[in-house]
Structure 1
Amino acid sequence: MPDFPYINARVRAMRSRLLDPGRIEELLALPTLDGFIQALNATPYGHDLQEALARFPALQAVDAALARNFYRATTKILSFADGSPRALIEVVLMRWDLMNLLLILRGKHGGTSAEEVTANLIPAGSLNEAALRELAGQPDIPAVVGAFSGLEHVFAAPLAEGLSEYAETEDLFALELRLERFYAQHGLRVARGSGHNQQVVRSLLQDELDATNVKTAFKLQRADLSAEAKTRFFIPGGRIVGEEAFLLLADRQTVEQGMKWLRVQGFPVKTAGDDLTAFERDLDLAMTRAQSGLYLGDPLGIDIVIAYLSLKYNEVKNLRLLARSKQLGIPRDRVRREMVVV
């Protein structure tokens, strides 16, 4: 049964195919989307790009190629593993299933077109491109839930359970948190045990839970709810953010007290501010850097896999950003500020 020393040797070889900073700068400097596509064709993304260009117009082809390349990378890693290592890797990859499902639900809730939704999807877990396109093509959230029920995915049950409440209240946030809560519980259950790899995956899930709870608390500052009502949005299981800290952060009167608590505990957050989008982006950046930093962790553990996935995903997001900037003519300096450098 392949274990992580074998898996990591293969993943390190994949790591060597990531684009170096110099190549990213060259792509950033290109003035047109056509030039960007030509240059990207000379990278490890070239094969997927050629296939995508035969099916889609320029920008859509780039999106499809990057998504396909990332999905192939994740399935390749899974092919190296079985048993406990595979189960742990599947839990890590399930985060992308969740992210993609949330994007689809938000798109249906907001009336976004299937094409726009699909452009932002990056398959990685058990939901492949075909499954995601089918879900994105559904007319509304009940139809998404119906289509999802036929995929035999672990998220099917909590999604179906949350549909009746959504139908009554149209509260998408509550449906999203139901899925987040299920993923945390499922992942922590799979990763229970005292081994190093289980501990690393648990820490990853708990850090993501803390980040989710902090983001949720900041959103709740604008809600006219009692403290008791706000607690139903709290997801237990994190390492740092308990219910007390959550309520401090969820109230404008006590948020600074909550922020001080987070900083004392070593939580990667600087300041609150009024720009929630910027705050969440900074928090996501800190999480990305922490996960990428695991590449310097245990060379015989799942650390290497988690770090590679973070680095690869970040590269794909940056390349998507570059492609869009060429299409829209966004100034280079502004694009560089938006890129995530780890």
Structure 2
Amino acid sequence: MYEYGNARVRAMRSRLLSRHAIESMIARKDLAYVISTLSQSDYAPDVAEALLRYSGPECVEEAARLSVIRAARAIRSFYEPPASDLVAVLLGRYDRHNLVACLRGVAARASVEETAGALFPAGVIREPLLLELAAQPDLRRAVDLMATWRLPYASAVSTALWRHGTDSTAPIERAIWQASVKASLDTLRGRGANVALVRELVEREVDVQNLCSLLRLAAVGLSPADVDAAGELISGGARLRPVFTASLGDVRGVEGLVSRLAGSPYYPWLEAAMPAYRQSGRVATLTRALETRLSAWCMALGRGDPLGIGVVIGYLAAKEAEVRNLRLIARLIWLEADRSAVYDELQSVGA
């Protein structure tokens, strides 16, 4: 079931950039060198395509984007049911990301080209449809188009728009998240270690998304009880339930929220980042720590059962982290940032 596909995915992971390659790019601080290095790696076809339209950091970012799309589509072709059903759940997260990116772009009146650079059409919604969605003049027309095409989550998005209007995309984004999570969990009702592992991933993603929302709102004085009552949280998580069964109405501020999370699996993740938060005062320090630790957890799954879905989860997480690193390196080189600033932001891929 997984033998052929996992062998191919492990081979793909072996072709991720080495730490030496990444450190050489940072040391040289030369975008031409970065592009040259990538053109001699597994990114070669993506760099060749990106160079037809872009140069400088935009070329690196586009090559990285194309590489993720190419890799995800290849993985989809490696598996047959029931393994392919779990792979579809993993790749369906790109649909969620893409719909949110398109609607944010429409709300911000961004150009189609600007939005296109944030898209990873590796799910079931193809790029031409996403670009047409991004080209709509306002949110109402974009949501109407989703309904006309019967795109995933269109009903949930239409309901959110009707209830909350167009003042903010936040309710629509939550609706997309909630509908996506429900669809995934409905697919994951079966038994077996692989189904359980993907279900755990979905639940952890919900928990981290909810924690990020709570932290951002705690930073402006709202308590978890206020946030929950306002419908800011997504249902479907699992490992925060014991925490949220307790009264949280008396919790105020970021420090209080983190303290109350003691005993949850996410407390060590946040505790380790608290010194940096206290120094910077930026809640993004904590949200980034949560996202990075979740990514590291996913990557570690790739070193587990060689005949399980963890190999795919681990590779996708490592590939996405590598792409974030490349985009970061390209931008900071372009801005002539200090080398230490680059290292501070990099995420270990552990390939």
Inter-partner Cα distance in structure 2 for 1:4 and 1:113:
41
User: What's the secondary structure of 1:215's corresponding residue?
Assistant: helix
After TM superposition, give the deviation of residue 50 of structure 1 in Å: 0.9
The one-letter code sitting in structure 2 at the alignment partner of 1:178 is A
Inter-partner Cα distance in structure 1 for 2:35 and 2:130:
25
Inter-partner Cα distance in structure 1 for 2:248 and 2:212:
9
- What's the counterpart of residue 152 of structure 2? 154
| Equivalent residue for 2:189, pick from 163, 176, 192 | 192
Inter-partner Cα distance in structure 2 for 1:295 and 1:31:
32
| Equivalent residue for 1:178, pick from 158, 171, 175 | 175
In structure 2, relative to structure 1, the CA distance for the partners of 1:228 and 1:283 (3 Å cut) is: closer
* Contact 2:215–2:287 (CA under 8 A) maintained in structure 1: no
Matching of residue 25 in structure 1 with residue 61 in structure 2: no
- What's the counterpart of residue 34 of structure 2? 36
* Contact 1:227–1:247 (CA under 8 A) maintained in structure 2: no
Inter-partner Cα distance in structure 2 for 1:173 and 1:246:
25
The one-letter code sitting in structure 2 at the alignment partner of 1:70 is V
- What's the counterpart of residue 239 of structure 1? 238
Inter-partner Cα distance in structure 1 for 2:348 and 2:65:
20
Inter-partner Cα distance in structure 2 for 1:124 and 1:165:
30
- What's the counterpart of residue 263 of structure 2? 264
After TM superposition, give the deviation of residue 138 of structure 1 in Å: 2.6
Inter-partner Cα distance in structure 1 for 2:288 and 2:223:
26
| Equivalent residue for 2:329, pick from 322, 328, 341 | 322
| Equivalent residue for 1:295, pick from 302, 306, 321 | 302
The one-letter code sitting in structure 1 at the alignment partner of 2:23 is E
- Per-residue deviation, residues 164-219 of structure 1 (Å, max 9, x unmatched): 2342x623222211111111111111011221111001100000111111112223
In structure 2, relative to structure 1, the CA distance for the partners of 1:309 and 1:224 (3 Å cut) is: closer
After TM superposition, give the deviation of residue 24 of structure 1 in Å: 0.9
Which shifted more, 36-45 or 193-202?
36-45
Inter-partner Cα distance in structure 2 for 1:277 and 1:249:
22
Which shifted more, 270-279 or 254-263?
254-263
After TM superposition, give the deviation of residue 147 of structure 1 in Å: 3.4
- Per-residue deviation, residues 108-147 of structure 1 (Å, max 9, x unmatched): 3334443333323333322344333333333322232233
User: What's the secondary structure of 1:234's corresponding residue?
Assistant: coil
Matches within 5 A, 1:307-318: 307-318=314-325
Q: Mark the runs of 5 or more structure 1 residues left unpaired by the alignment.
A: none
In structure 2, relative to structure 1, the CA distance for the partners of 1:249 and 1:225 (3 Å cut) is: closer
TM-score by length of 2: 0.87
In structure 2, relative to structure 1, the CA distance for the partners of 1:337 and 1:251 (3 Å cut) is: farther
Inter-partner Cα distance in structure 1 for 2:263 and 2:242:
17
| Equivalent residue for 1:216, pick from 213, 223, 230 | 213
Inter-partner Cα distance in structure 1 for 2:140 and 2:245:
31
Q: Mark the runs of 5 or more structure 2 residues left unpaired by the alignment.
A: none
After TM superposition, give the deviation of residue 304 of structure 1 in Å: 0.4
* Contact 1:197–1:301 (CA under 8 A) maintained in structure 2: yes
Q: How many residues align?
A: 339
| Equivalent residue for 2:54, pick from 47, 53, 56 | 56
Matches within 5 A, 1:69-148: 69-148=67-146
| Equivalent residue for 2:283, pick from 273, 276, 301 | 276
The one-letter code sitting in structure 1 at the alignment partner of 2:302 is Y
| Equivalent residue for 1:205, pick from 181, 192, 202 | 202
* Contact 2:224–2:251 (CA under 8 A) maintained in structure 1: no
In structure 2, relative to structure 1, the CA distance for the partners of 1:239 and 1:13 (3 Å cut) is: same
Inter-partner Cα distance in structure 2 for 1:249 and 1:103:
32
- What's the counterpart of residue 15 of structure 1? 13
In structure 2, relative to structure 1, the CA distance for the partners of 1:60 and 1:36 (3 Å cut) is: same
Inter-partner Cα distance in structure 2 for 1:66 and 1:269:
29
Which shifted more, 36-45 or 247-256?
247-256
- Per-residue deviation, residues 3-25 of structure 1 (Å, max 9, x unmatched): 12221111111111111111111
Inter-partner Cα distance in structure 1 for 2:144 and 2:330:
34
Ranges of 4+ aligned residues in structure 1 off by more than 4 Å: 223-226, 246-252, 254-258
In structure 2, relative to structure 1, the CA distance for the partners of 1:32 and 1:147 (3 Å cut) is: farther
User: What's the secondary structure of 2:302's corresponding residue?
Assistant: helix
TM-score by length of 1: 0.89
Which shifted more, 206-215 or 26-35?
26-35
Inter-partner Cα distance in structure 2 for 1:297 and 1:30:
36
After TM superposition, give the deviation of residue 228 of structure 1 in Å: 6.3
User: What's the secondary structure of 1:123's corresponding residue?
Assistant: coil
In structure 2, relative to structure 1, the CA distance for the partners of 1:136 and 1:60 (3 Å cut) is: farther
Inter-partner Cα distance in structure 1 for 2:297 and 2:34:
30
In structure 2, relative to structure 1, the CA distance for the partners of 1:239 and 1:152 (3 Å cut) is: same
In structure 2, relative to structure 1, the CA distance for the partners of 1:13 and 1:145 (3 Å cut) is: same
User: What's the secondary structure of 1:233's corresponding residue?
Assistant: coil
